[in-house]
Amino acid sequence: MVCGDLPAERDYMNIRKQKEREELNRLSEYAFKVIDTKGRKRSIIPCEIRTDFERDRDRIIHSKSFRRLKHKTQVFISPETDHNRTRLTHTLEVSQISRSIARALKVNEDLTEAIALGHDLGHTPFGHSGEQVLNEICPFEFRHNIQSVRVVERIENDGRGLNLTHEVIDGIKNHCHGFKPSTLEGEIVFFSDKIAYINHDIDDAVRFGVLKEKDIPGIFTEVLGNTNSQRINTMIMDIIKNSLHKDKIKMSDEIYKATMGLRKFLFENVYHSKMAIEEGNKGKAIVKRLYDYYTKHPEKMPTDFYKRVESDGLSRSVCDYVACMSDIFAINTYKELFIPSTIWGM
């Protein structure tokens, strides 16, 4: 018996098309429909059961760069606790917030999720400290959102990239201030990223003793809420109320002002705190030393990075390699290269 001749098998083969048709009926008129995608740079055979955006989500989750996020700093470098946020847990929180908003607004949840899961793949070891020092020492501008695009297009899969759809790459590139996503789904991730880090960074700062809850100005807590959960809920609900049946994702003026004020408070009291600066400088020193070393000894890099020196240039290839490192790998590599080993029996 040939399985392809069974009615159930033929139904199985149509699952993706059923999903695509269902989107047309279920999603908002402002949602991006998967059938309208501009596609990939390299054509592939369509999946039998997954839409293109579901496939992108899976490609991101199964990538090496996604797995490395579990050992990359969010704010606090290599803390001795199980409960701090890492770049991976931040990404998952952004994904959860994004999906909640997307589902409520009836826009494309699969596209939103794929963008959210991929938005920070280009982050360096030691968080924004690593990003800052690479931007200082590289002969080109280094920004983690642009590097995230480079990861999915040039670095992953032994240089072949993940071959994601245009809309997912657009959302990944444009999730930062100063950039504009082309889809509502990308705009949702833009806001969700801020909602996530503003609130979980406060939570981590309190846990590490950098802040106390009472330090948060009342002008913000009176508007947003007194707890992490309340503030997240306020921000999410405000976006939904002000974006429903509209072609733009936005907050009310009151909530946006309070949110940005809380963000400024974080920069002044957490990100630029003495503890954060001291630890960040240590991370910067490691990144700079590794960059200098591999610039002088590019043959010491893994083959897939070294072989691109000729096509991409020495600085670009070294930058890619160092930026891909996790905190743990960068620290261990630094120790191996620059810290003398203990010699027993001397």
Is residue 189 within 8 Å of residue 94, measured between CB atoms? yes
Whether 298 and 318 have beta carbons less than 8 Å apart is answered as: yes
Confidence of residue 39 (pLDDT cuts 50, 70, 90): very high
| Distance, CA of 120 to CA of 90 (rounded, Å) | 9
How many other C-beta atoms lie within 10 A of the C-beta of residue 217? 12
Q: What is the pLDDT of residue 10?
A: 55
Question: What is the average pLDDT value for the chain, to the nearest integer?
Answer: 92
Instruction: Indicate the pLDDT class of residue 14, thresholds 50, 70 and 90.
Output: confident
What percent of the chain clears pLDDT 90, i.e. is strictly above it?
Answer: 84
Domain chopping of the chain, boundaries: 52-329
pLDDT tens readout for residues 129-140: 999 999 999 999
CATH architecture of 52-329: Orthogonal Bundle (1.10)
Per-residue pLDDT at 80 exceeds 80: no
